[in-house]
A and B are shown apart, each in its own frame.
Chain A
Amino acid sequence: MKRNIPLLITAFSGLVLILAYFIPMTQSWGEVAAIWFDILASIAFILGGGNLIKLHARKMALRQAGWAYSAITLLAFALTLFIGLSKIGVSPNLQFPDMAWSGHYRESGAPFWWIYEYAFKPLTATTFSMLAFYIASAAFRAFRAKNLEAILLLGTAFIILLGRTFAGIILTSWLPDSLAGLRIENLTVEIMRVVNTAGSRAIMIGIALGVASTSLKVLLGVDRSYLGSGEE
């Protein structure tokens, strides 16, 4: 039962979505299935939150390595959730001044806004910015012209790196118009338009075939890995 009902729901929903795509009169069925999916996606946030609490609480209870980070994560999660849900510091909506909770949780100046503006925003931006440092370090340590493939990759990388800046224009602006195609900025466009597009299309077609085949297996109940192992 625990496995058969999810299998039936999956097969039925998948079938409805396929029918809705090919038969216009069943389009509204597809819409209903998709709306249900969107509602379930919202509920997944609750499951995600529950899972986060479970994992980090276990880590803290067992005093595993880095348990202090888990404590910070849980504290931040609880604080943000509480402030957001209780709409602390949010003024009531002008249309409903008597209703304390009618204001919007993202209201400028409210504590939730403060958390977003002065904690979440700088922290995520900083984490992403770190990439520049690690990319530079990795490029120095790993990018070697060891063979023909590596040399081609290196040459392409140089053209793209230069072509995405003003340096590309300065370096080859002296080339006559008859050789304009060899200017770095134009080479960059051609590499992206021809070489990259050809490679990407091949990968996309491969992925699409794989997705179609896997989806069919899921719909027919052959692939049941998405249901988990069944063990707690």
Chain B
Amino acid sequence: MYTFLKNLDRRWIFLLMFLAVAIPILFELQFPEHPTGLAQAVFDEIEALQPGDPVLLAFDYDPASEGELGPMATTFTYHCAKKGLKMYFMALWPVGAQMIDDNIAKVIKADFPELEYGKDYVNLGYKSGYEGVIKVIVTNLRGLYTTDSYGTSIDSIPMMEGVTDIRQMKLLVNVSAGYPGTTEWVQYAITPFSKDLRMVAGCTGITAPLLYPYIPNQLPGLLGAIKGAAEYEQLVMDAYGGEKVDQKYMKARQRMGPQLIAHLLIIGLIIVANILFFMEKRKGVVR
């Protein structure tokens, strides 16, 4: 056994990881979520808004991180639609526009057919320029956006009437997979205009630790990875989901099952590796 573990082929580890992820997905392993303060803060920020309030939803991610960020983007869209907020979608990532399309089709068109494009929601699409875009639209939205994502002049879009900059938004919701993302929104929009703008965000697990320094002054709420998404999803569905919740609004909680088993597997592997290490140390193989 010792020799087998010592010379363990990494393909065995890959197989174990495959099973750790596949089995909970196949058996729909799911656990209750206990929302932490940060997820509650995100929920409360949106709850505090009144119907008709404008909200900017910046979806700065791509299909690579869709598994981690997709569920929170879906829940954000659902929550805003349920609250009757006016949704302004935009993206700083080239494929972010497709992420917006997905959410509009999946949530708004499917479950809120009464909402009208141009009156209740608008897709401003992708703009190149990274933080340069934020720097401009925070004081002059029309300097960069002359059309929406589909080429329609924003002057002919009813909900764009009177919108000159994003400081008019009651809340900024950002879903971010990295650069440009939440850090840039905080640095170029929230920090210089902290009296006018408030922001909540959702991000990948790898970027979450870097965003904690902005909590709570610049960032009142933050959803870290799929765990944060699951907590927020639970809060929104408890408040608005009714008795029978659609499967698409359970994705984050469903993905917590594979995460639990995968994390336990990694812990198990580290423990086994360290037992081997100390056995070798006792034998004098390593120092």
Contacts and interface: CB of A to CB of B under 8 A. Distances in A.
Interface string A143-181: 111100000001001100110111101000000000000
A52 to B, nearest CB: 15
Contacts of B64: 124-125, 127-128
A154 B270 contact: yes
B80 to A, nearest CB: 22
Contacts of A41: 128-130, 132
B49 interface: no
A164 B273 contact: no
B269 A139 contact: yes
Contacts of A143: 270, 273-274
Contact of A31 (B34, B139, B225): B139
Contacts of A189: 36-37
A200 interface: yes
A35 interface: yes
A35 B151 CA distance: 19
Contacts of A213: none
A120 B13 contact: no
B32 A93 contact: no
A226 interface: no
Contacts of B227: 164-165
Given A37-B132, A38-B136, A204-B213, A137 B14 contact: yes
B65 interface: yes
A132 B13 CA distance: 11
B118 interface: no
Contacts of A128: 64-65, 67
Contacts of B224: 192
B67 A106 contact: no
Interface string B123-136: 00001111011011
B66 interface: yes
Nearest to A193: B212
A197 interface: yes
Interface in A90-123: 93, 102, 104, 106, 108, 116, 120-122
Contacts of B149: 104
Nearest to A102: B151
B189 to A, nearest CB: 13
A37 B129 CA distance: 7
Residue of A145, A158, A161 most packed against chain B (CB within 10 A): A161
Contact of A165 (B18, B139, B263, B273): B263
Interface in B15-56: 16-18, 21, 31-32, 34, 36-37
A165 B37 contact: no
Contact of B150 (A104, A158, A164): A104
A35 B273 contact: no
Interface of A: 21, 27, 30-31, 34-35, 37-38, 41-42, 44-45, 93, 102, 104, 106, 108, 116, 120-122, 124-125, 127-129, 132-133, 135-137, 139-141, 143-146, 154, 157-158, 161-162, 164-167, 169, 185, 189, 192-193, 196-197, 200-201, 204
Given A31-B136, A37-B129, A197-B212, 18 more contacts: A31-B143, A37-B132, A38-B127, A38-B132, A106-B101, A132-B21, A136-B262, A137-B14, A140-B270, A143-B273, A143-B274, A164-B225, A165-B263, A185-B36, A189-B37, A192-B212, A192-B224, A196-B209
